[in-house]
Structure 1
Amino acid sequence: MDSQHDAKFIEALQEVGLAPMLSPTRYISMLGIDAKTLARNARVPVSTVTKTPDAANIQRYLRNNLRVIKAAYDVSGGDLAKSLHWFRTEPLPMFGQRTAEQMVSAGQVDDVIRLIDSYRAGAAG
């Protein structure tokens, strides 16, 4: 993402008045999921998503997702819809057909980032 798009993308997920906090509600809306799905993927109780959205574990999970989505966005030529679709639904053979979203949920953010970097370099794409 260029800095202008990057700022708008992140700004869209920030909780109004709480700039460093990412909004689980806005994330849910952007990805078209529900609170139960976010909680399951983040490995937290649903109450964390709904009652304590500023909890460190949910904020860390959202930031990790954004790292991967941003990397995918950069490789996709700036197509956010394509990046989100890839993140949520594309089975990745090198990860046992798990999606990037599933990999992030399993704590394997750096593995997904390396994969995306290899796409950028032309090695795996």
Structure 2
Amino acid sequence: MLSAFLDQVTDRRGGFISPQRVSEALHVPLAKIARLAKVHRNTLAQHPESPVVQARLGDLARIITAATELLGGEQGRAIVWFKHQPLAGFDGRTAEELVAAGHSDAVLAHLDLLREGSYA
């Protein structure tokens, strides 16, 4: 079963994560999604199905999904956390800032520690 967030952002006709739907779900402009995915904004519009775009949007979807699970299923709170909550051990940077800097793996590792009950 797909997570609610992944289901929300998937383009059912194309079978890929839609940059436009991610933009709408996070309430940010498509240009910001391009910065988070580290691709040119035109790439999102012209080649949303490209492996690079899909891999980076997939990381973003995994982060939001994991945060939603940790927050008792509250996707809105997970999105606020992603955008605004400074993470301990990352010089006060948010998950969004870390993703934009190419550190999605660090955010996912942080969430794994929290899931295991560690204080991060």
**Identical residues among aligned pairs (%):** 30
| Post-superposition offset of 1:11 | 2.0
| Post-superposition offset of 1:63 | 0.1
Q: Does the CA contact (< 8 Å) of 2:5 and 2:61 recur in 1?
A: no
| Post-superposition offset of 1:93 | 3.0
- C-alpha distance in 2 between matches for 1:66 and 1:9: 7
1:9 aligns with 2:1: no
Task: For structure 1, list consecutive stretches of 5 or more residues without a partner in the other structure.
Answer: none
| Post-superposition offset of 1:77 | 0.9
The equivalent residue for 1:99 is 94
The equivalent residue for 1:18 is 14
Trace 1:7-86 onto structure 2 (pairs within 5 A). 8-19=4-15, 21-86=16-81
Q: Does the CA contact (< 8 Å) of 1:92 and 1:98 recur in 2?
A: yes
The equivalent residue for 1:112 is 107
Matched residues, number:
120
State TM-score, norm by structure 2. Answer: 0.88
Deviation digits for residues 78-102 of structure 1, max 9, x if unmatched?
1110111111111113111111122
State TM-score, norm by structure 1. Answer: 0.85
- C-alpha distance in 2 between matches for 1:113 and 1:42: 15
SS at the partner of 2:86?
coil
Task: For structure 2, list consecutive stretches of 5 or more residues without a partner in the other structure.
Answer: none
| Post-superposition offset of 1:37 | 0.9
Q: Does the CA contact (< 8 Å) of 1:42 and 1:58 recur in 2?
A: yes
SS at the partner of 2:89?
helix
| Post-superposition offset of 1:64 | 0.2
More helix by share: 1
Please say which of residues 32-41 and 8-17 is displaced more in the overlay: 8-17
